[in-house]
Amino acid sequence: MIDYKVGERVHIVINPSIHSGMPHRRYHGKTGVVIGKRGRCYIVSVMLGDREKVLFVRPEHLRPAEKPVVTAQSTSSGETRS
C-alpha cells in the first residue's frame, strides 16, 4: 500500500473485493485531497457539486493523482509538463 501524506491529491477508485472502508459509489472516480488519517483510513475531502464532503476511505480504494509540473516559462506560453 502507498502511504499518503496530508495535502496529497488522490483518486477514489473503489475495489469491490474489499468492503471495509469502501466509500459510496457516487464518489467513484472523484479526486480529493488527503486532510488526515484515522487508524488505517485516510480522511479525504471531495467536492460534490458545490459542497465539500469529508470521507473516511481505506487506502485500497485510493490511487495517487498525477500533478502536472508548472514552471514560470510554461505559464507564460500556456504549456504544462508532466
Q: What pLDDT, in 10s, does the model give residues 59-80?
A: 999 999 986 555 566 566 666 6
Q: What percent of the chain has pLDDT over 90?
A: 77
Q: Which residue has the higher pLDDT, 2 or 30?
A: 30
Q: Which residue has the higher pLDDT, 27 or 67?
A: 27
pLDDT for position 50: 96
d(CA 54, CA 23): 11
Categorize the per-residue pLDDT at 15 as very low, low, confident or very high, splitting at 50, 70 and 90.
very high
Q: Please tell me what DSSP assigns to residue 13.
A: -
Q: Do 13 and 62 meet the contact criterion of CB atoms below 8 Å apart? A: yes
pLDDT for position 31: 95
pLDDT, tens digit, 9 for 90 and up, residues 30-46 = 999 999 999 999 999 99
Domain range summary for the chain, segments of one domain joined by +? 9-77
Query: Domain 9-77: what homologous superfamily?
Result: Ribosomal protein L21 (2.30.30.70)
